[in-house]
């Protein structure tokens, strides 16, 4: 299928950065910088910046994502945020299963799946992250890890619900390290993810799925990564904190 028929999506992942005052400054810089984007633009902000982000981006082409949500609707889960709390606050997307959540906060394939289902049920669009560590890659286990994480995250999700899912391939060894996967490596694994989705849901669902690459994407390497047939966008950490860098990646995805 022609890649141009899939939505190109660039999402920023601010991680645990930006107070409300700093968020205001960053968003003020971003709004004019991405206003002519030819792709979908999302900013993934900390919970405390959601209100500021939703208010400031009203009437613009920027959409707001949260960086996690819980799988229960409410209850005794101290420190957690429910999916419907996010939709009520005006959030449209949610990043789930990020490797930092898996590594530092005990996320498993099962909890990523539960969160993904809860997010869909609340009307959020999940950006589901998968990716292997360096050890896993070097041991020759990349394919098995990607398959296990992809199949695990999508358990009990219907073909219809897949329309609202984005998958991000984020090799753990390339995140925040300045080390980028080569365009060929990114293209190969995004293609592998598409083939796994095709096995689960059929080719039409797989062909319509937006698959992002994430891991040290920047204005210099974005063109080459995004030129890969199966790379439909990017999940951007460090470079999303700089309006001009983020805008340059958005421009690369808009071509
Ligand atoms: P990075 O982060 O662009 O800083 O490598 C990407 C991510 O973790 O989403």
Enter the DSSP assignment of 216. Answer: S
Enter the DSSP assignment of 219. Answer: T
Angle at which helices 142-153 and 109-121 cross, to 10°: 40
Distances in Å between the alpha carbon of 182 and those of 84, 185, 192, 237?
A: 38, 5, 15, 17
| Nearest residue to 35 via CA among 20, 57, 51 | 57
pLDDT on residue 5:
72
165 Cα: distance to centroid of ligand 1 (angstroms)? 19
Whether this model's pTM surpasses 0.85: yes
Nearest CA to ligand 1 atom 9: 237
| Nearest residue to 11 via CA among 50, 34, 43, 49 | 43
Residue linked to tokens 């983020």: 246
80 Cα: distance to centroid of ligand 1 (angstroms)? 23
Is there a contact between 14 and 52 (Cβ–Cβ < 8 Å)? no
Whether residue 100 lies in the annotated active site: no
238 Cα: distance to centroid of ligand 1 (angstroms)? 6
Is there a contact between 116 and 128 (Cβ–Cβ < 8 Å)? yes
User: Which residue of 94, 175, 213 sits with most ligand 1 atoms within 8 Å of its CB, as the best mutation to test the pocket?
Assistant: 175
Whether residue 63 lies in the annotated active site: no
Sequence-ordered list of residues with C-beta below 8 angstroms from that of 73, at least 6 positions apart, any chain: 82, 83, 84, 118
pLDDT on residue 153:
98
Query: Measured in Å, how far apart are the chain's first and last C-alpha atoms?
Result: 18
For residue 176 and ligand 1, the question of a CB distance below 6 A is answered with: yes
Token pair recorded at residue 239: 């470079």
Q: What is the mean pLDDT of the chain?
A: 96
For residue 10 and ligand 1, the question of a CB distance below 6 A is answered with: no
pLDDT on residue 2:
66
For residue 95 and ligand 1, the question of a CB distance below 6 A is answered with: no
Regions of the chain with pLDDT less than 70: 1-2, 4
For residue 170 and ligand 1, the question of a CB distance below 6 A is answered with: yes
Beta bridge partners of 211: 167
What's the rounded Cα separation, in Å, for the pair 119 and 102? 18
């Amino acid at each position: 299928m022609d890649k141009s028929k899939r939505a190109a999506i660039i999402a920023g992942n601010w991680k645990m950065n930006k107070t409300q005052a700093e968020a205001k400054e960053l968003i003020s810089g971003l709004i004019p910088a991405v206003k002519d984007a030819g792709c979908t633009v999302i900013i993934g902000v900390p919970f405390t910046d959601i209100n500021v982000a939703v208010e400031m981006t009203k009437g613009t082409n920027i959409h707001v994502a949260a960086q996690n949500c819980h799988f229960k609707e409410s209850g005794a889960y101290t420190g957690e945020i429910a999916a419907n709390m996010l939709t009520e606050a005006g959030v449209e997307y949610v990043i789930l299963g990020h490797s930092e959540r898996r590594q530092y906060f005990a996320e498993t394939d099962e909890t990523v799946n539960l969160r993904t289902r809860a997010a869909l049920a609340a009307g959020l669009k999940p950006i589901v992250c998968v990716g292997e560590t360096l050890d896993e890659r070097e041991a020759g286990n990349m394919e098995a890890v990607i398959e296990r994480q992809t199949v695990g995250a999508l358990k009990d999700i219907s073909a219809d619900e897949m329309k609202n899912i984005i998958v991000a391939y984020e090799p753990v060894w390339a995140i925040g390290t300045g080390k980028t996967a080569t365009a060929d490596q990114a293209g190969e694994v995004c293609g592998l993810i598409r083939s796994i989705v095709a096995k689960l849901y059929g080719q039409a669902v797989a062909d319509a799925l937006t698959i992002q690459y994430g891991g040290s994407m920047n204005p210099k390497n974005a063109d080459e990564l995004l030129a890969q047939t199966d790379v439909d966008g990017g999940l951007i950490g460090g470079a999303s904190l700089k309006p001009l860098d983020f805008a340059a990646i958005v421009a690369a995805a808009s071509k």
